RNA sequence: GGGGCGGUAGCUCAGCUGGUUAGAGCAGCGGACUCAUAAUCCGUCGGUCCUGGGUUCAAGUCCCAGCCGCCCUACCA
């Protein structure tokens, strides 16, 4: 991936009615780290997130709250979703709402093109519809109700009665794309990642695809079907199109050509929408399919999937208020192998904060800056001749930079951090072995002392540059203490080791202060 | 019913196309050191690699069966 190449990355758009929890935040942070890395590498980066605001469920909750659905969505965007982005320091370049005119207008454009091309036909549909799920249910998805719904069939997910609906709907000829999709997966093994998700999807598509009902007549909160305004577009069909309407489809051909195709980061539960329906839609429209669909794993809390339907959701603020934003970002990126499910626990979070951020990285910065301040009044000394140990540090700086960049390109964020941390650990070891405090006791060792601290502080600068995408606030503070030029987020990440040191350092407050945890018991979620 | 993923040290996890005494981090234990956020560094304890078969000169790593967990999907109705 050469500098200046286009990197367009997206998250799923938030369903506004959801309550933000760390699962949403996890997807956002992962995408944000990738975006920041590419941006800092000089790639033409565009990072999109946004909200999904149509559908019957939103219409109903809005009505129940005595406001219009648009007012309801506005309120949730303002009070829940935009605050979430700032809570976890997300650097999105754009925020699309499916109620934006740029979106609705071009959803219609897209649909009209599919219609004109013969990929849409009229059909009858009868089925059990769950408002909570926003979709029709097969009989097997239903269970016997209990309590107030005893005697009725209810949705297995929401435990609420389903409705028998009969509609004249418009259908998308998705079945035409069974083979083209299989060919796509075959010819481009990286289209769906990781492997586990890819296997799942291939098996699913091999069974053959059925046509997809893409309109609804039973309510009107959605994008009108352009040739029949008694129908609104199915919410998923509408939602998926955000990735191109935001990129300029139908409104800015130049921007669209430059950005598309993009990389989609999604949870594995919705990977199928993105790896099956979405590319089929694009193929039908004669557009390029996405560059990649990456389905990450779930956060497990107490061994169970964190669920928005159950009450295991944890609000991001619960974590950031105690540990800070950077720790939140670092923890989830480091502790979880991106693509696999990962266990969250307060104990693990606290342990990693302490050993890795406070004792490992934070303390490294403290000790180096303290010694420069103490022995050289903060002025960074010029190095003398480098010995093998000094050269080894330089070599490591280079090695981890290259390795981290390679890992990021594979979307292996956790591996990138593991690589970078090798430099953290090696620098701590280097200082312990070189014993600058011992060198300082004999003026004859003055040059050697300078060389050691010069080497160490350069390593610290390299770390600031490499870690800026993950822990932007701490990296910026450190960069300031090192008197680095400009902003750390503008330093070329792929040549992080090239920083040669500023003129002097200034004292630094602990980047990750020790945290005294109140009690062993944590509040239930 | 069909399918996917996982089951490796107390905990969280690595172990690619099978090959020396199965690894890391954390926790535990012992030691060194003092620049630093009682931090750092070194050493050390610790595993029937879910179970049972099989293939192979050689299996955590391949095959079969089973058990457990999570998930996708179907049908019966």
The per-residue pLDDT for range A15-64, each reduced to its tens digit, is: 998 888 888 999 999 999 999 999 999 999 999 999 999 988 889 899 99
The pLDDT of residue A258 = 95
- A197 CA: nearest nucleotide by C1': B4
The pLDDT of residue A216 = 84
pLDDT at residue A108 greater than cutoff 70: yes
Six-digit token pair at A126?
Answer: 């009868």
Distance in Å, residue A36 CA to nucleotide B17 C1': 35
pLDDT at residue A3 greater than cutoff 80: no
Interface predicted TM-score (ipTM): 0.90
Instruction: State the CB neighbour count (10 A cutoff) for residue A57.
Output: 20
HSE of A428, CA atoms in CB hemisphere, 13 A: 16
Give φ, ψ of A141 to 5 degrees: -85, -5
**Mean predicted confidence (pLDDT) in A307-336:** 84
Average model confidence (pLDDT) across chain A: 88
Give the least confident one: A60-69, A203-212, A438-447: A203-212
Distance in Å, residue A255 CA to nucleotide B52 C1': 61
**HEC profile of A401-467:** HHHHHHHHHCCCHHHHHHHHHHHHHHHHHHHHHHCHHHHCCCHHHHHHHHHHHHHHHHHHHHHHHHH
d(CA A482, CA A470): 19
The pLDDT of residue A454 = 96
Distance in Å, residue A39 CA to nucleotide B43 C1': 44
Contact at 8 Å (CB) between A50 and A65?
Answer: no
The pLDDT of residue A523 = 38
Burial label for A138, CB within 10 Å (0-12, 13-18, 19+), is exposed
The per-residue pLDDT for range A284-315, each reduced to its tens digit, is: 999 999 999 999 888 887 767 766 555 557 88
| Alpha carbon A467 to its chain's center | 16
HSE of A189, CA atoms in CB hemisphere, 13 A: 3
The per-residue pLDDT for range A242-289, each reduced to its tens digit, is: 999 999 999 999 999 999 999 999 988 888 899 999 999 999 999 999
Contact at 8 Å (CB) between A32 and A326?
Answer: no
Burial label for A488, CB within 10 Å (0-12, 13-18, 19+), is buried
d(CA A278, CA A268): 15
**Mean predicted confidence (pLDDT) in A325-342:** 91
- A358 CA: nearest nucleotide by C1': B37
Distance in Å, residue A504 CA to nucleotide B39 C1': 24
Which CATH homologous superfamily contains domain A345-498? Isoleucyl-tRNA Synthetase; Domain 1 (1.10.730.10)
Six-digit token pair at A43?
Answer: 């790639």
Concatenate the DSSP letters of all residues of A240-284 into one string: HTHHHHTTTTTT-HHHHHHH-S-EEEEEGGGHHIIIIIHHHHHHH
The pLDDT of residue A519 = 45
The pLDDT of residue A424 = 96
Distance in Å, residue A427 CA to nucleotide B46 C1': 28
Q: b vs e for A157-181, b when ≥16 Cβ sit within 10 Å of the residue's Cβ?
A: eeebbbeeeebebbbbbbeebbeeb
- A415 CA: nearest nucleotide by C1': B14
Six-digit token pair at A137?
Answer: 């249910």
Instruction: State the CB neighbour count (10 A cutoff) for residue A3.
Output: 11
Closest CA to A302 of A267, A262, A246, A347: A347
More reliable by pLDDT, A67 or A136? A67
Q: Choose the most confident range, by mean pLDDT, from A227-236, A365-374, A498-507.
A: A365-374
Instruction: State the CB neighbour count (10 A cutoff) for residue A387.
Output: 13
Distance in Å, residue A266 CA to nucleotide B33 C1': 48
Residue lying closest to nucleotide B36, CA to C1': A367
The pLDDT of residue A151 = 61
The owner of tokens 């998705």 is A174
Q: Which sequence positions of A are flagged as catalytic?
A: 21, 24, 130, 133, 155, 158, 305, 308
Name the percent of chain A lying above pLDDT 90: 65
Distance in Å, residue A375 CA to nucleotide B36 C1': 14
d(CA A426, CA A277): 48
- A357 CA: nearest nucleotide by C1': B37
Distance in Å, residue A196 CA to nucleotide B55 C1': 27
Distance in Å, residue A524 CA to nucleotide B9 C1': 30
Distance in Å, residue A229 CA to nucleotide B24 C1': 60
Instruction: Please list the alpha-helical segments (H only) found in A251-377.
Output: 253-259, 271-272, 278-284, 316-323, 325-335, 346-352, 363-376
Q: Which helix (H) or strand (E) holds A153?
A: strand A153-155
Instruction: State the CB neighbour count (10 A cutoff) for residue A133.
Output: 17
More reliable by pLDDT, A302 or A226? A226
Nucleotides of B under 7 A from a protein CB: 2-6, 11-14, 25-27, 32-42, 70-77
- A345 CA: nearest nucleotide by C1': B12
Name the percent of chain A lying above pLDDT 70: 87
Six-digit token pair at A6?
Answer: 């286009």
3-state class of A502 per DSSP? coil
The pLDDT of residue A524 = 34
Boundaries of every domain in chain A: 345-498
Give A2's pLDDT tier (boundaries 50, 70, 90): very low
Q: Which helix (H) or strand (E) holds A203?
A: helix A195-206
Give A105's pLDDT tier (boundaries 50, 70, 90): very high
d(CA A47, CA A87): 17
The owner of tokens 């407050």 is A509
- A424 CA: nearest nucleotide by C1': B40
Six-digit token pair at A238?
Answer: 């509408």
The pLDDT of residue A219 = 80
Distance in Å, residue A281 CA to nucleotide B73 C1': 22
Contact at 8 Å (CB) between A436 and A341?
Answer: no
Six-digit token pair at A266?
Answer: 């999604």
- A510 CA: nearest nucleotide by C1': B37
- A374 CA: nearest nucleotide by C1': B35
Burial label for A79, CB within 10 Å (0-12, 13-18, 19+), is exposed
DSSP bridge partners of A484: none
d(CA A462, CA A102): 42
The pLDDT of residue A525 = 31
Q: Give Cα separations from A514 to A188, A333, A429, A465 (angstroms).
A: 47, 21, 21, 24
d(CA A47, CA A49): 7
Q: How is chain A split among helix, strand and coil, in percent rounded to 5? A: 50, 15, 30
DSSP code, position A503? S
């Amino acid at each position: 991936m050469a500098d200046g190449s286009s990197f367009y990355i997206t998250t799923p758009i938030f369903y506004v009615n959801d309550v933000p929890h760390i699962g949403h935040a996890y997807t956002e942070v992962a995408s944000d780290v990738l975006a920041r890395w590419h941006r800092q590498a000089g790639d033409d980066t565009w990072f999109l997130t946004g909200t999904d605001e149509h559908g019957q469920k939103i219409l109903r909750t809005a009505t129940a709250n005595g406001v219009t659905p648009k007012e309801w969505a506005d309120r949730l965007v303002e009070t829940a979703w935009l605050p979430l982005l700032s809570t976890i320091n997300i650097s999105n370049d754009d925020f699309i709402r499916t109620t934006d005119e740029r979106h609705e207008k071009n959803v219609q454009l897209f649909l009209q093109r599919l219609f004109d091309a013969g990929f849409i036909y009229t059909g009858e549909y009868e089925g059990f519809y769950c408002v909570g799920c926003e979709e029709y249910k097969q009989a097997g998805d239903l269970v016997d109700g209990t309590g107030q719904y005893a005697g009725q069939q209810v949705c297995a997910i929401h435990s609420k009665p389903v409705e028998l609906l009969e509609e004249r709907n418009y259908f998308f000829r998705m079945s035409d794309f069974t083979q083209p999709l299989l060919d796509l997966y075959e010819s481009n093994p990286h289209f769906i990642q990781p492997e586990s998700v890819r296997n799942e999807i291939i098996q699913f598509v091999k069974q053959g695809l059925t046509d997809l009902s893409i309109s609804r007549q039973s309510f009107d909160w959605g994008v009108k079907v352009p040739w029949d305004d008694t129908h609104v577009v199915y919410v998923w069909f509408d939602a998926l199109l955000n990735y191109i309407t935001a990129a300029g489809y139908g409104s800015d051909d130049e921007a669209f050509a430059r950005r598309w195709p993009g990389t989609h980061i999604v949870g594995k539960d919705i990977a199928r929408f993105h790896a099956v329906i979405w590319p089929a839609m694009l193929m039908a429209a004669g557009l390029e399919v996405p560059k990649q669909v990456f389905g990450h794993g779930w956060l497990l809390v107490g061994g169970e999937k964190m669920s928005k339907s159950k009450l295991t959701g944890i609000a991001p603020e619960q974590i950031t208020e105690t540990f800070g934003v950077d720790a939140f970002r670092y923890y989830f990126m480091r502790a979880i192998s991106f693509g696999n499910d990962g266990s969250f626990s307060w104990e693990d979070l606290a342990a990693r904060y302490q050993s890795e951020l406070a004792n490992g990285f934070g303390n490294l910065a403290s000790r180096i800056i303290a010694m420069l301040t103490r022995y050289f009044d903060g002025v960074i000394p010029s190095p003398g001749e480098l010995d093998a140990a000094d050269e080894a540090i330089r070599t490591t700086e280079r090695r981890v930079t290259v390795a981290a960049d390679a890992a990021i390109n594979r979307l292996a964020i956790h591996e990138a951090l593991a690589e970078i941390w090798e430099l953290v650990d090696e620098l701590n070891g280097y200082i312990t072995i070189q014993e600058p405090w011992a060198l300082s006791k004999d003026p004859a060792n003055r040059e050697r002392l300078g060389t050691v601290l010069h080497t160490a502080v350069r390593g610290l600068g390299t770390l600031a540059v490499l870690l800026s995408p993950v822990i932007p606030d701490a990296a910026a503070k450190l960069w300031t203490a090192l008197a680095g030029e400009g902003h750390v987020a503008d330093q070329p990440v792929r040549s992080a080791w090239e920083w040669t040191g500023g003129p002097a350092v200034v004292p630094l407050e602990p980047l990750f202060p020790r945290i005294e945890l109140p009690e062993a018991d944590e509040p239930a979620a």
